[in-house]
Amino acid sequence: MDFTLWDIVRNLLAGLQWTLLLSLVAFVCGGVAGLLLLLARISDNPYLRGLARGYIELFQGTPLLMQLFMVFFGIALFGIDVSAWMAAAIALTLFTSAFLAEIWRGCVESIGRGQWEASGSLALSRLEQLRYVILPQAMRIAIAPTVGFSVQVVKGTAVTSIIGFTELTKTGGMLANATFEPFLTYGLVAVGYFILCYPLSLSARYLERRLHAPA
Amino acid sequence: MAYQFDFAPVLAQADLLLKGALFTLQLTVVGTVLGLAIGVLGAVVRAWRLQPFSAVFGAYVELIRNTPFLVQLFFIFFGLPALGVRLSEWEAAVLAMVINLGAYSTEIIRAGIMAIPKGQLEAAAALAMSRFEAFRHVILRPALAKVWPALSSQIVIVMLGSAVCSQIATEELSFAANFIQSRNFRAFETYLLTTVLYLLMAIGVRQLLAWLGQRWLMGRR
Amino acid sequence: MPLLRVSALHKYYGDNHVLKGVDLSIEEGEVVAIIGRSGSGKSTLLRTLNGLESISDGVIEVDGEYLDAARADLRSLRQKVGMVFQQFNLFPHLSVGENVMLAPQVVKKTSKGEARQLAEQMLARVGLGEKFNAYPDQLSGGQQQRVAIARALAMSPKVLLCDEITSALDPELVTEVLGVVRQLAKEGMTLIMVTHEMRFAREVGDKLVFMHQGKVHEVGNPREVFAAPQTAELANFIGAVAQAS
């Protein structure tokens, strides 16, 4: 069977859709989980704090590939048949939540003590302090690094090809084998990721510069 | 839960895991040394805007930072032979790690150089040092010291990222894990132990880098 | 023949004409104080003398080194012209001794042993012999500035430029730095300093240069000039400074 260039591109675009979808799911779910994790990480309960710290350390200190395997084979232990897509979505969500929580913690901590003390002296509870005083300020700082991290999420989805999820990289691998054109195919795969990631990188840099520009 | 954990078959192969871990560390050391060398070179070229090299490095940095490591690895291992460049599994793995770390460290070290106050360069210039001498003796160490935590994180990220090199059959730690679980069918136990091993390596490397930074960059000798 | 001669020096920053034809000549061993309002071009003039600022037109000659808009051998010029900065600019990663040793080793290829000996001498000269192994951030501002002077002296310059070297110091630390400068003057060092210390300029200076709007507006012996300024602008300036202090 002969492949035209368009055949290759067409198939890669189909794979790219899955990359995009997985990225979105992981980023959104990871964001929600990351927010909860953040609250635990900065709570005044030392056990909760320690647990969140351990979780973050675990996911930042091990390969995404191993996390993927652990989820994939771990869920199977419960006798539940887990699809590559589910395992990929879960693992990437956990991975994303750990990194986002840590990024956001840095942003929260960059808000000066004075803000906590001032809002505390107004009799706001800790959650109210966060909700009305700290988070609104931290969010402004957090936008650029959060967008920047989304690039890591998109790139991270490539690893899910290894457990057989047919996204862009996996599609590229199959095409490379079928066409005997690995140079062209993997080159195009790289272009596909670049098209997804570069605008995100540029926006992150733009947001970063705008934040530091005088208002 | 009905499942019975059994780590014995994995522990019986502990020597394979440790050999894999050692190889991962070796890849990381070579990747780090060469990657940081590229990073320093790239950072100088970018910071001083030495055209056309600055533009070349800029494109390189963007290309690498916006594509997955796994795809870079496949491109090097499967794609480059089309150009007559045929690399062994470990050569491809090291090259991919070097290229990857080189790109990230170019940006990180450049930020460190830019953060050095202008007065330092002026003082060096007033003492009749050339730009290169000033860079070597006055700028480089403080610049590296400023960004050493970021560089250390990136080195750990590259080490952990190297787990995917098992996909081109580089015989590092995750390759060993794949091999063991394919023979004993204890996938979860195998990957759990491997994960723990990676975690210990990440912590160890981080500690080592912090110590090295303290000793060589911030140290008062 | 003067040690340093500046002729028809012009400097533009874009459209901003900062130096508008400066002429100046300085003999060996002279202590020159440059004064003037901020924006008068006095710091820029000083920085052109060792090539930290390029020049747009004119000529600078220092002890046989020749510098104009087109050509400059900055490396040999700077070996003859040392500089001390307002912000000290010590190298924070090097000890005090290493700060002084660095340039002789790197630029003049002095051996480590000789550089060490030289550094010890220079530090003793500024009264900091015992601080050889300390680091800059362990020193007071006044001590740091004295190390910066020792660092410049280690290159055996013909001329030492001082750019507002006491402006960043707490008042109680100014005296120790000026004391070192006074000593250098006594030893015959050629000094060119941009300064706000009028009293010091009058006591120690051989020549006073008043810069105004990018030009040398008035030059003379400090004691005479302060007593009887020839131009209204200098009289105004002296009056304003006297009132401020």
The domains of chain B are located at: 10-217
pLDDT digits (tens, 9 = 90+) for A53-74: 999 999 999 999 999 999 999 8
Contact in structure between C101 and C140 (CB atoms under 8 Å): no
Domains of chain C: 4-244 (3.40.50.300)
**DSSP 3-state of C218:** strand
The pTM for the full model equals: 0.87
Contact in structure between C90 and C144 (CB atoms under 8 Å): yes
Cβ count within 10 A of residue C92: 16
- Nearest by CB to B122, from C52, C75, C135: name it: C52
Nearest Cα of chain B lies from the Cα of A30 at a distance, in angstroms, of 19
Residue B142: list chain C partners with CB under 8 A.
Answer: 91-93
Nearest Cα of chain B lies from the Cα of A53 at a distance, in angstroms, of 14
Structure tokens at B210: 């912090």
Indicate whether A134 belongs to any domain: yes
The gap between the terminal CA atoms of chain A, to the nearest Å, is 60
pLDDT digits (tens, 9 = 90+) for A95-131: 999 999 999 999 998 887 888 888 888 888 888 888 8
Indicate whether A213 belongs to any domain: no
Any chain A CB within 8 A of the CB of B86?
no
Closest residue in A to B186 (Cα) is A73
Tell me whether residues B191 and A64 touch, CB distance under 8 A. Answer: no
Residue B199: list chain A partners with CB under 8 A.
Answer: 57-58, 61-62
Mutate to test the interface with C, among B127, B132, B140 (most CBs of C within 10 A): B127
Asked whether B and C share 3 or more beta-carbon pairs under 8 angstroms, the answer is yes
Contact in structure between A60 and A50 (CB atoms under 8 Å): no
Indicate whether A125 belongs to any domain: yes
**DSSP 3-state of C94:** coil
Residues of B with CB under 8 A from a CB of C: 117, 119-120, 122-130, 133, 137-138, 141-142, 145, 217, 220
Return the bridge partners of B122, or none: none
Across residues B134-145, what is the average pLDDT? 94
Q: Which domain does A58 fall in, by range?
A: 5-208
Any chain A CB within 8 A of the CB of B156?
yes
Any residues with CB less than 8 A from the CB of A54 and at least 6 apart, and which?
Answer: none
Indicate if the pLDDT at residue C85 is higher than 70.
Answer: yes
Structure tokens at C35: 């004064």
Number of domains within chain A: 1
Cβ count within 10 A of residue B86: 11
Any chain A CB within 8 A of the CB of B2?
yes
Tell me whether residues B63 and A194 touch, CB distance under 8 A. Answer: yes
Residue C51: list chain B partners with CB under 8 A.
Answer: 125
Cβ count within 10 A of residue B81: 13
pLDDT digits (tens, 9 = 90+) for C149-185: 999 999 999 999 999 999 888 888 999 999 999 999 9
- Positive or negative, the CA dihedral C133, C135, C141, C145 is positive
Which residue carries 């490396």 as its tokens? C75
Please state, for a pLDDT cut of 70, what percent of chain A lies above it: 98
Which of the residue ranges A201-215, B11-25, C112-126, C153-167 would you say has the lowest mean pLDDT? A201-215
Q: Does domain B10-217 have CATH number 3.40.50.10320?
A: no
* Nearest-angstrom CA–CA distance, B163 and B174: 5
Q: Where are the alpha helices (DSSP H) in chain C?
A: 42-48, 74-80, 96-106, 112-125, 141-153, 171-186, 198-204, 222-227, 232-244
- CATH code, domain with A164: 1.10.3720.10
Which residue carries 């996909």 as its tokens? B167
Tell me whether residues A176 and B174 touch, CB distance under 8 A. Answer: no
Q: Within 13 A of A53's CA, how many CA atoms are on the CB side?
A: 8
Q: What is the pLDDT of residue B6?
A: 83
Structure tokens at C154: 């280690």
Touching chains, B (3+ CB pairs < 8 A): A, C
Tell me whether residues B67 and A187 touch, CB distance under 8 A. Answer: no
